[in-house]
Each structure stands twice: as structure tokens, then as C-alpha cells.
Homo-oligomer: A and B are copies of this chain.
Amino acid sequence: MPSIAVDAMGGDFAPEEVVKGVAQVSLRTDIQCTLVGNEQEIQAILDRVPYNPERIGVQHTTEFVTMAEDPKVGLRRKRRASVLVAARLVADGHADAVVTAGNTGAAVIACTQCFKAIQGVFKPALASVYPRQTEYPGQDQLALLLDVGATIRCDATELVQFAIMGSAYARHVSKVPNPRVALLNMGVEETRGGDILVEAYHRLKNCRGINFVGNIEGTDLAKGKADVIVCEGLLGNVALKILEGVAEVVVDLAGTARRESWRWKLGFFMLAGSIGRLRDLTDYAIYGGAPILGFEHVMIKSHGRSNARAVENAIKVAAKAVRDGVTQEIAAGIEQV
């Protein structure tokens, strides 16, 4: 059974929600968790909820990187920061993967400092699942977008490697048998987007093991054209946050309207299901989290606003990635290119 090191101090609602999430996992699965953080605080929360003590360990540390902190500075000063201690547990073989809802930059740096890069991988990628419209019955409701912020700019080789990493992850964790991979670009023609994207297009077209469907434009990101969407970090980060931002505005509009009059109230009651589908777009709890890929071990970064349910899902996703040997499959894929 997989063993997951969980950063108890990372996230807007840490340690409370993180510890509660781990407690739930201990009762519902056979996953072993090690909570990394202030032992006293952790125990105080555990004392208030049901949990299985045989499946939970605690690794004490008082330091942690806050959400607002500069991650480089934070980790340089705090060598016993919870996310770093969690990553070291994995590097030393005491756990198989890390889950953190904390500072994203700190999570990526902790991987870089503690984990070996998979042989041949140039840059790691932060991959995020996001909900989109489906195109056919049975299509997964989530697509995978990478990189969303571990890098800024990328060359063609790095983009091809992201495609390999994302495909392996989607196959196993999202259970999409033959994920359709696309390049995010400013047009669908293979000549678009400048030298790097044109080169990446041609290499992906000829890449065995990758089901490349070509370029997609921003318009298609909210639709079901591709399962794995590849781009440099600057573009992916902005794209993901636009999707989040629009969903928030829609939910906000709906909320305002609801307060306005009985007409709106009745209307929204009638539409509860539809608004629910929109609200899902902003409900990070159901997605599990964003894997940091390219290292010999997996770290899952769940959303900063994660509640117990989100943490629980992130831990399950991490365990699935470990059980299915996602990093080994990525290594095999990179070797073939």
C-alpha cells in the first residue's frame, strides 16, 4: 500500500482541513499517511475527529512556508519547512509521494532540491486538471493542461517532453486510454505560433506513443477537443487562471442575481442543476490537484483553498500515481524519444 507524506502546514485552511482530510483517508482507504508539521497542533485536531491511528504517522517540524512568502527566500531560511521535510521523507524512501496545498513555488523548488529529475528530462512541469465541456458520452470531464507555472518559456524538446509526461499521467490517473494531445497555439495551422511551436508540432506529429491531434486555440480549451494540452508555463498559467476567473464571475453574477428579487430566486431554484455545473468549475475539492511531473517521485499540489475533501482526493490521486508507476512510464517514454 502506498505511503504518502502530507504537508500538514500548507494551504489557506491548514492544518485544520489537511489533518481532517488525512483522518478521512485513514478510515476509507488502506493508504498510509505521514503528516508533516507541528505535532501538537496536528494531534489536537486529530483528537476532535474519528481516524485510524494505524494509518497515520506524524513527522514533527515547526517551520513552514506561508502562502504569501517568496518561495526561494522562504526555503533558504527554513531548512525544516514542512514541504521540504515531506519531500525528504520521500527522497529517503520513507514515503512514496508528497501532497501539499501550500505555496506552489515552494512545492516546485522542494521537488527540485530533494528529487532527482527523470533521466533526460530538461524541465519539470506543473500539470493541472480542469473541467471542460465533453464532446462524446463517456469522455472524461477533466482535461490536463501543462505546464501551468513551473516554467516560463520552453523550447520544442521541452514541449514534447510535457506531452509525454501528460499522456502518461492522463492514461493512469484520469484513465483515458489513448489521450488526445494538443498544442495550445494562436491558430490551428501547423505554421502558426513561431519557430518553437512549429518545431514542436512537427516532432509531436511524428512521436510514437503520442496521439497528437494538432494545435488548438483558446476557444477550444473550454470544449472537449483534447485531453492533454501542452504549452509553456507563462501561457498555461494565464490560461488556467482565465478559466478560474470566468467561472468565478459567472458564479458571482448568479449569486448577485439570486439576491435581487423573488423572480431571480425562483429562476435559480429551477436552475439549481445548471448553476451547480458552473459552480463545479470553481470547486477545487473535486479535482484532486495538480501533479508536478518530471521527477523520480510524484508531488501533488492541491489548490491553496483546499478543504478536507480536496486533500482526501489529492492523497488518493497521489496513491494512484504511485500504484500505477506513472514516473516509470514517463521515464520509458522520455527514453524512446
- Per the bound structure, the CA–CA distance linking A241 and B237 in Å amounts to 15
> Contact: A239 with B222, CB < 8 Å?
no
A233: CB under 8 A from chain B? yes
Q: Which residues of B contact A217 (CB under 8 A)?
A: 237-238, 241
* CB-contacts of A173-192 with B (<8 A): 184-187, 189
| Complex: A152 Cα to B257 Cα, angstroms | 40
Asked whether any CB of chain B lies closer than 8 Å to the CB of A1, the reply is no
In chain A, positions 5-61 with a C-beta closer than 8 Å to chain B are none
Assembled-state Cα–Cα distance A178/B268 (Å): 38
The answer, yes or no, to whether A235 is at the interface (CB within 8 Å) is yes
Q: Smallest CB–CB gap between A69 and chain B, Å?
A: 11
Copies of this subunit: 2
Q: Is the CB of B278 within 8 A of A250?
A: yes
Residues of A contacting B: mostly: helix
Q: Given B219, B245, B250, B267, which contacts A244 in the complex, CB threshold below 8 Å?
A: B219
Q: Which residues of B contact A193 (CB under 8 A)?
A: 152, 234
For the complex, give the distance between the alpha carbons of A267 and B274 in Å.
10
User: Does B248 lie within 8 Å of A219, measured CB to CB?
Assistant: yes
Q: Cβ of A264: which chain B residues have Cβ within 8 Å of it?
A: 270-271, 274
Task: Given A219-B242, A239-B242, output 5 extra A-B contacts at Cβ < 8 Å.
Answer: A218-B240, A235-B235, A235-B238, A238-B239, A243-B246
